[in-house]
Structure 1
Amino acid sequence: MKPSIILFLIATGFSFLSCDNAKTDKNIKMYTQVWDDIVNKGDIDKINTTNFDENITAISSPENIVGIENFKAYYQNFITGFSDIKFTVVDVFGEGDNIMKHWNFKGKHTGDFFGIPPTGKQVDIEGVTITKMKNGKIAQEQDFMDNTVFMQQLGIASSPENVSLINSLYNFFAVGDIPNVLANLDANVVWNEAEGNTYADKNPYIGPDAVLNGVFVRLGNDWNDFKLTDIKLHEMSNNQVLATLRYNGTYKKTNKPINAQVAHLWTLKDGKVTAFQQFVDTKQLANAEKK
């Protein structure tokens, strides 16, 4: 092959590569600016046929979101659902009409979000979006993020640490380590004994000291061999844990034993117990206390 032909082919290849890079750079610049305007500036009307293909598709489950109006309505939930929004493109790169971005979304849930009423929770979530462009417009998007973490931050789904924390409290109680039980209670914990229980006379107990003096000290003074048995923990929504168990012990003044059915409902936030509600067979307790 003649050198002139080789040089022509090389030059042509570089020309195509240069054009492709220029196209990708243009797509990325447009794409990044549009989403900055939509999310950070709240300019939802940037979702239009100038920036998006008329058949824009968000790959989603159980069904895709198709068309400008549906796509716009979907993202309106983020604009009206959150305040103090900060949307950051951590990294973005592409090839031809394909773009991938790594993003971070921060905001405070102060409005309706897909039917979820405001929780006042702060969210800080990261994800990745794969995008396809068509004729310089955004044609298809698919988001990848940890929805479980997102729901946990909103307080809708429970933290996976809740059950293990409550289990540790029962273990501390079993060996008489009350200081560690109290250390896992929020400073303003709201503690309620079951109605009809003798210790419900000062409901609600607010704060660890109140729980110590109003419940735990009295338990130690009133009962011999007081134990919690057959403990089963059940993870609930809204950062709650339900415990089903039994109380065993002997009331000191009457020497009468109990084997009572019990349920405890624990509410947690940020790794601390914020509320406790006891449910117990109070008739059995009253019979044991009765001379």
Structure 2
Amino acid sequence: MKKTLTLCMLSIGLCLMSCGDSKNKKDIKMYSETWDQIVNDGNLDLINNTNFTEDITMISSPENIVGIDNFKAFYQNFITGFSDIQFTVVDIFGEGDNIIKHWNFKGKHTGDFFGIPATGKSVDIEGVTLAKMKDGKIAQEQDFMDNMLFMQQLGIMSSSDNIGIVDAAYKAFGTGDIPAVLAVLDEKVEWNEAEGNAYADGNPYIGPDAVLNGIFKRIGDDHEYFKLTDIQLHDMSNNQVLATLRYDAKVKKTGKSYNTQAAHLWTFNNGKVVAFQQYVDTKQLATAFNK
């Protein structure tokens, strides 16, 4: 009798485990397909009471977002705020009514996003979502992501790394390590010299090779020495760094020296310099270059 009862209990237990596992797989499949269509296809109408509970709740600060209409309005910002959207579920798994999703979101900010006007910036951000299911519907979600990195990619906040990158570039220039300077430039960097500067004849220089041949090589050919002194770096918004400095140089052709104020505006995107603008007293440069 005991043996029969034990076998019966074991059979029931295995059945419950199997049923639970099957239910979780079904929930994961529904969850993945629903979010794929909502984000990648822009089908916000799938945020309805067929796929979500009426009181769907997003755990958020300073207050939760509750209800289908509010939930839908929240995600409307992503669909209208970004184009070229690619939403990828990197990994997903669950147990019982709980689902964990590791995701990646890519897109270009071309529309209004929670009141932020389009910046034209591209974002590539990863995060994790904890979700709860109820009777086959999505009942609760809580997102975890690097919001500061997200804002930096949008250009709303500057990366703390920018000043360090510019500082290292100036130090590399000072030692003649031009390849290290070029390494911080984006492959499509737009480099502009001050209007009136002889080197402005190629504005804008597009790409590191153009900067090397149009600027750095000419500086080396034209000068006995060319030093950057009194460099001060100023962190700015919109992923920009302003450098104030002086040029201490001597022109080979004329033998004339000059020491003049200058400023450089560096613009970053995802850790690379995408734009550079020089400001300098071009009259002093012209005087030094002319006999």
TM-score when scaled to structure 1? Answer: 0.75
Matches within 5 A, 1:201-212: 202=200, 205-207=203-205, 208=211, 209-212=213-216
Q: CA deviation at 1:110?
A: 3.0
Q: Distance in 2 between matches of 1:41 and 1:150?
A: 22
Q: What corresponds to 1:135 in structure 2?
A: 135
Deviates more, 1:11-20 or 1:66-75: 11-20
Equivalent position amino acid for 1:190 in 2: W
Deviates more, 1:203-212 or 1:79-88: 203-212
Equivalent position amino acid for 1:126 in 2: E
Q: CA deviation at 1:115?
A: 2.8
Q: What corresponds to 2:208 in structure 1?
A: none
Matches within 5 A, 1:190-269: 190-193=191-194, 199=197, 202=200, 205-207=203-205, 208=211, 209-212=213-216, 220=223, 226-248=226-248, 258=259, 262-269=262-269
Q: How many positions carry a matched residue from both structures?
A: 283
Equivalent position amino acid for 1:233 in 2: L
Q: What corresponds to 1:32 in structure 2?
A: 32
In structure 2, stretches of 5+ residues that fail to align are 206-210
Q: What corresponds to 1:11 in structure 2?
A: 11
Matches within 5 A, 1:110-149: 110-149=110-149
**8 Å contact from structure 1 (residues 119, 154) kept in 2:** yes
In structure 1, stretches of 5+ residues that fail to align are none
**8 Å contact from structure 1 (residues 188, 206) kept in 2:** no
Q: Structure 1's 16 and 85: CA in aligned 2 closer, same or farther, altered over 3 A?
A: same
Matches within 5 A, 1:85-164: 85-158=85-158, 162-164=162-164
Q: CA deviation at 1:249?
A: 5.8
Q: CA deviation at 1:44?
A: 0.5
Backbone CA RMSD of aligned residues: 3.9
**8 Å contact from structure 2 (residues 93, 99) kept in 1:** yes
Q: Structure 1's 116 and 203: CA in aligned 2 closer, same or farther, altered over 3 A?
A: farther
Q: Structure 1's 125 and 275: CA in aligned 2 closer, same or farther, altered over 3 A?
A: closer
Q: CA deviation at 1:284?
A: 8.7
**8 Å contact from structure 1 (residues 199, 215) kept in 2:** no
Q: Distance in 1 between matches of 2:72 and 2:130?
A: 18
Equivalent position amino acid for 2:145 in 1: M
**8 Å contact from structure 1 (residues 191, 211) kept in 2:** no
Equivalent position amino acid for 2:84 in 1: D
Identity %: 60
Q: Structure 1's 26 and 148: CA in aligned 2 closer, same or farther, altered over 3 A?
A: same
Write out per-residue CA displacement over residues 59-108 of structure 1, whole angstroms, 9 at most, x where no aligned residue.
22333222211110111112122233332323222111111122233333
Write out per-residue CA displacement over residues 151-199 of structure 1, whole angstroms, 9 at most, x where no aligned residue.
4444444456543442233223323456765676666633233x7xx73
Q: CA deviation at 1:128?
A: 1.7
**8 Å contact from structure 1 (residues 202, 214) kept in 2:** no
**8 Å contact from structure 1 (residues 199, 214) kept in 2:** no
SS of 1:63's partner is: coil
SS of 2:10's partner is: helix
Write out per-residue CA displacement over residues 187-246 of structure 1, whole angstroms, 9 at most, x where no aligned residue.
6633233x7xx737957743224434776655x26xxx6532332333333332222334
Q: What corresponds to 2:74 in structure 1?
A: 74
Q: What corresponds to 2:54 in structure 1?
A: 54
